[in-house]
Structure 1
Amino acid sequence: MAGFPVHDPLFLAVAAVAVLAIGISKSGFSGGIGVLAVPVMALFVSPLTAAAIMLPILCVMDVLSVWAYRRRWHRRNLLLLLPGACVGLALGALTFRYVDDAVIRLLLGAVTLGFGLQAFAAAGQAGEVRAGKAATGVACGALSGFTSFIAHAGGPPAKFFLLRQHLDKTVFVGTNVVFFFLINQAKILPYAWLGQFSRDNLMTSLLLAPLAPLGIWLGLRLHHRVPQDAFYRVSYLLMILAGVKLLLDGGLDVIFR
């Protein structure tokens, strides 16, 4: 246990900043930088270990966020996203040890960056609230469930589906919050089955978990202070940053493997 990064001050400092940033992003802007947590922590531990450390912390954040956004979520969108997500989670559990992370990151990064750039460029245009297509919701749910299981990177596909509907910003975040609360709860048993909850992993999660409420609180404060137009611009910008990060991670993995 002496070599485990829980004893490394630099690892703990970097992980603490990541946890705070994810909490702010999750409760304030419905994620976007959540995909950065596993790659950043993977500088010190394996991606599988980083994902296992983050899951209990994400579950704590989810409970706090669901309470904050209770009754402020879109029922139809959840019903469209969840069936596909169940399929994606099952596929992720079965291929967890064999999937090529680099290819997944490259594909997801390209889609995320493309949509983020297009949406950010058009953010100043007036948009009417419109219902999402059922097929798109199921497909985005499946991709979200799969990438969430592999690397907690399920945010971009869900946002791709929801942002185009121009929902009220609070309903948008609340729908994401409830969706990922259910997703992360569903990941607990498969992660345990795969042996990811070791004593060292859980100890690291326990050390970092107290930062979760602070991040959620800061995110909620920002959410209520940022106007809706600016909120959507920030959300699109976070998608762009997430897409760039995914492309860089995937490209570097391919080059240096």
Structure 2
Amino acid sequence: MEQLLGLGSLLSLVFVLIVAVFAGLVKGVVGFAMPMILISGLTLVIPPEQALAALILPTLLTNTWQAFRQGIKSAVRSVVEFRWFLLSGLVLLVLSAQLVRVLDPRVLYGLIGGPVALFSIMQLAGWKPKLGARTVRLDTAIGSFAGFIGGLSGVWGPPTVAYLTATNIPKQDQMRAQGVIYGLGAVALAGAHLQTGVLRAETLPLTLVILPCALLGLWLGFRVQDRIPQVVFRRATLVVLTIAGLNLLRRAVLG
């Protein structure tokens, strides 16, 4: 079984499944971070390209659940409201995804770890930017940057979360918007990597195996979010993401 999934041992498989549950749990609580946790955790036991393929389906389906948790009409409203962010992000995501097969793994580690560590450390330090009202220009600029990073690494959460937080969007609206933005981005990511060959018959079994674990974690996270103050769990998540991002940067520098 482990050989079929591209893993070296049963212990590696157990580790991957635990990472998937934890990633889903954190996402259910704070609305983001699943790709970052998955790519940071999975690359400890498998190559970054295989880890990127493994996170595609869990990211797609968990974001679909999150986007539609408050109903179809609310999700459609978020699509309309964030149309320029989505359009620019999807275009850059598809374009940058073409670079995955030609980049050195250490470059990819740096591109993932840098934004993760920077965002997490700044948030833990108390950085809370205030941008005022959203504009088409801001939506397009931040969406393009998030899409570019997402196409390369499967991680487009930090710039999106920072932007939504800075514009003071209410919690439930932000959770739904994140689900819509990440969900549509995951559709584009899946399509792009079907073309690049990252998502193929050899990498599909692993993403299917971790999918139920990610969904279980998301369900648990939603239950926690409904009962426990979110600020405590978000801070804990940022600590984990800081460690994960710094570890990826270490691997980018030291190999």
How far is 1:191 from its partner?
0.7
Q: 1:101 aligns with which of 80, 95, 108?
A: 108
C-alpha contact (below 8 Å) 1:87/1:145 kept by paired residues: yes
C-alpha contact (below 8 Å) 1:108/1:243 kept by paired residues: no
* Pairs aligned (count): 248
Spell out the pairing of 1:150-161 with structure 2 (5 A cutoff).
150-161=152-163
**What RMSD in Å do the two structures reach over aligned CA positions?**
2.9
Match of 1:92 in 2: 96
Say if 1:226 and 1:22 are closer, same or farther in 2 by CA, change over 3 A. same
How far is 1:161 from its partner?
0.2
Match of 1:213 in 2: 215
Spell out the pairing of 1:179-218 with structure 2 (5 A cutoff).
179-218=181-220
Distance 1:129 1:144 in 2: 17
Match of 2:178 in 1: 176
Unaligned 5+ segments in structure 2 are none
Distance 1:115 1:208 in 2: 31
How far is 1:30 from its partner?
1.2
Identity within the alignment, %: 18
Spell out the pairing of 1:140-155 with structure 2 (5 A cutoff).
140-155=142-157
2:228 is equivalent to residue 226 of structure 1: yes
How far is 1:77 from its partner?
5.4
Match of 1:254 in 2: 253
How far is 1:25 from its partner?
2.1
Match of 1:23 in 2: 24
* CA deviation vs aligned residue, 1:148-205 (integer Å, no higher than 9, x gap): 2222221111001011223221111111001111000111221111112333321122
Spell out the pairing of 1:36-75 with structure 2 (5 A cutoff).
36-70=37-71, 71=74, 74=78
Q: 1:115 aligns with which of 119, 122, 143?
A: 122
Distance 1:115 1:140 in 2: 18
Match of 2:134 in 1: 132
Unaligned 5+ segments in structure 1 are none
TM-score w.r.t. the length of structure 2 is 0.83
**3-state SS, counterpart of residue 84 of structure 1:** helix
C-alpha contact (below 8 Å) 1:53/1:201 kept by paired residues: yes
Distance 1:248 1:128 in 2: 30
Aligned AA for 1:63? T
**3-state SS, counterpart of residue 166 of structure 1:** coil
C-alpha contact (below 8 Å) 1:82/1:141 kept by paired residues: yes
C-alpha contact (below 8 Å) 1:38/1:51 kept by paired residues: yes
C-alpha contact (below 8 Å) 2:20/2:214 kept by paired residues: yes
* Greater mean deviation of Cα atoms: 39-48 or 237-246: 237-246
* CA deviation vs aligned residue, 1:96-135 (integer Å, no higher than 9, x gap): 2234214413541454135313436x6xxxx999533443
C-alpha contact (below 8 Å) 1:112/1:240 kept by paired residues: no
